[in-house]
Amino acid sequence: MDRHYMKMALALAARARGRTSPNPMVGAVVVKDSRIVGQGFHARAGTPHAEVLALAEAGDEARGATLYVTLEPCCHHGRTGPCAEAVIAAGVAKVVIAMLDPNPLVSGGGIRRLREAGVEVVTGVMEDDALELNEVFIKYITTGLPFVVAKAAMSLDGKIATHSGNAKWITGAEARAYGHCLRDWYDAILVGIGTVLADNPSLTTRLTAGRGRDPVRIILDSRAKTPLDANVLNRQSAAPAIIATTAGAPPERLEALRQAGAEVLVVNEGPRVELAQLVKILGKREITSLLIEGGAGVHGSAFAAEIVDKAVWFIAPKIIGGQEAPGPVGGRGVDDLSGAAALERVKVSRLGPDFCIAGYLKYRGG
């Protein structure tokens, strides 16, 4: 029964996917005499935590009940009060927790406080599911860096476009819709100037019935070549547009882009934007996750810099062919297969006629 109720709590938490940054997703269920008497989830940063909402719904029924929560209740004052104290005050007899909070301000402290107050605590129920649900938060809170996802769509023979540059559409509607879900879930999206010049994308989220949140839009543009009328600079979206550039970009172009509504972010000196430095800057801005939808050059740079945590690859069962047709990852690449980055914890799924392969990067020596 612990797994049954924890599964419900995890489902509640996932309802806020893409909305809680820089906080984790958390769900809570209060059970008494085999009845659910309260439930809640953390909707967004600054709003009540899941435990508080679930306990409020339970009211007096919380006394002597069991609380199922996907993340260790906090024990410190942040934007809201400590949840561990609220649990104790409500008279909960037992707390079942999926995973410990990786936040150094909390980790283990919430559990200690509950046990000191005489509350029975069980941990590790559906822990792997909870860890995957909050993989963004875990990376960010322990390193200060955003969780980076590289996404690409290619044919069965590894092409992202024809030799003439045509790429619409390699994958079907289902895969493209899932791609927009990824935009909705992650804080920011990144492409290179090559993609902007070739495709003029808006980089917005387009889901059915107008649902979806537009991510912060970031363009790698070392020489400030982004056209002033580019769709990514459109005012119809409230999402900021950031031009990540270098000190070598022409000052007059930088000012023109500012006037067009973009934020100009000078990352470093050299000829190219250093991605390792860029993600550090983004982390300091509380951008906790980054989706890379670049072409071969941007993906090649991202993998070479070893900033990618997860790859999501869509593969269409079609053959494009052509030696001049581009692949999804450019750059120099590795000299020997022993140096290739490998995917771990790989999942394969079907989206209409296409396949999606997702996994976590393990770099050589990492």
- The number of residues in the chain equals 366
Distance CA 250, CA 76 (A): 48
Count CA atoms within 13 Å of residue 340 on its CB side.
7
What pLDDT does residue 210 have?
66
DSSP for 53-96, please give it. Answer: HHHHHHGGGGTT-EEEEEEPPP-S-SSS--HHHHHHHHT--EEE
Point out the residues of the chain with pLDDT beneath 50.
none
Q: For 186-230, write each residue's pLDDT tens digit.
A: 999 999 999 999 889 999 998 876 678 999 999 999 999 999 999
What pLDDT does residue 79 have?
59
Task: Compute CA 167 distance to the chain's CA centroid, rounded to the nearest angstrom.
Answer: 25
350 exposed, middle or buried (CB, 10 Å; 0-12, 13-18, 19+)? exposed
> Active-site residue numbers?
51
What pLDDT does residue 230 have?
94
Distance CA 303, CA 307 (A): 6
Nearest 5 degrees, angle CA 44-CA 265-CA 313? Answer: 60
What pLDDT does residue 333 have?
87
Q: Where are the alpha helices (DSSP H) in 117-250?
A: 127-133, 135-143, 173-185, 193-199
Please state the pTM of the whole predicted model: 0.93
3-state secondary structure of 32: strand
Distance CA 132, CA 146 (A): 15
Q: For 270-327, write each residue's pLDDT tens digit.
A: 899 999 999 999 999 999 999 999 889 999 999 999 999 999 999 999 999 998 898 9
34 exposed, middle or buried (CB, 10 Å; 0-12, 13-18, 19+)? exposed
What pLDDT does residue 34 have?
94
